[in-house]
Amino acid sequence: MHYTSIQNDKMKKLHKLSQKKYRDAISLFLVEGEHLVLEAYKQGVLEEVFLKEGEIFSIDVPISYVNEKVMKYISQLDSPPPILGLCHKYDKAKLGNRILVLEDIQDPGNIGTMIRSSVAFGVDSIVVTKKTADVYSSKAIRASQGMLFYVSIFEMEIEQLVPILKKNKIPIIGTKVNGGKMLKDIEKFSKFAIIMGNEGLGVTQKTLDVCDTYLYIPMQKQCESLNVGVAASIILYELDKKESYE
């Protein structure tokens, strides 16, 4: 197929995928650029490719061509890449044993960074609360470097999650700027659910109340806190190190 008009119904549909509401409704999302298209393909979630006229790309899913105007219309980036992929959200596996919980995280870059670090350090499941920004936004997927496809994502409120964790004897670990155990002193965990809170507010008191353990990362006194993506990554690094190498 060759699309040259932004009035085309299918192109309108792709354009609307910039909205979380629409992504949720039809369980599809876009990835932009060759690297992400290939990662999506490897994981079997790639449905169709949209290529700028004149570009060459070979892959065994349907390929359609679009002109520059249409590419600008369907892309969510200021400088659209020459290739977009339409993907389906995959069926969720069962919640795993090494879980990162994102409670009301606002910045898509932070979300993507945490997904990338999660895969680096052996997390198998990511739980996002309703108030967390969408993991399927173009920005979050780019920041994840396609690592999104290597973890199971669950949208769930903390109240729904806690009974499942308790039943499966998965310790709930809350993070505080101060208080609790110093990160380096925590024991080895083969199962865990780490809770990371909103950029400005931290983990909510309600959620801290249901945690089994608390930990903090010691730092010099001039600095009040770390970027949430950095804090999560340091914690996951330390847990993975204890599990794998000590």
Which listed range, 3-11, 20-28, 142-150, 163-171, lies at the site for a second copy (CB under 8 A)? 142-150
Q: Is 79 in the site for a second copy (CB under 8 A)?
A: no
Report the side by side order of strands in the sheet with 181-182: 152-155, 125-128, 98-102, 192-196, 172-175, 213-216, 181-182
Least Å from the CB of residue 163 to a second copy:
29
In the complex with a second copy, the residue whose CB is nearer, 113 or 132, is 113
Binding residue for a second copy (CB under 8 A) from 45, 119, 128, 193? 119
Which listed range, 12-20, 116-124, 164-172, 187-195, lies at the site for a second copy (CB under 8 A)? 116-124
Least Å from the CB of residue 63 to a second copy:
26
Least Å from the CB of residue 81 to a second copy:
14
Q: Is 109 in the site for a second copy (CB under 8 A)?
A: yes
Which listed range, 12-20, 76-84, 88-96, 140-148, lies at the site for a second copy (CB under 8 A)? 140-148
Least Å from the CB of residue 225 to a second copy:
8
Which residues contribute to the site for a second copy (CB under 8 A)?
109, 113, 116-117, 119-122, 143, 145, 147, 150, 182, 184, 217-220, 222-227, 229-230, 233-234, 237, 240-241, 244-245
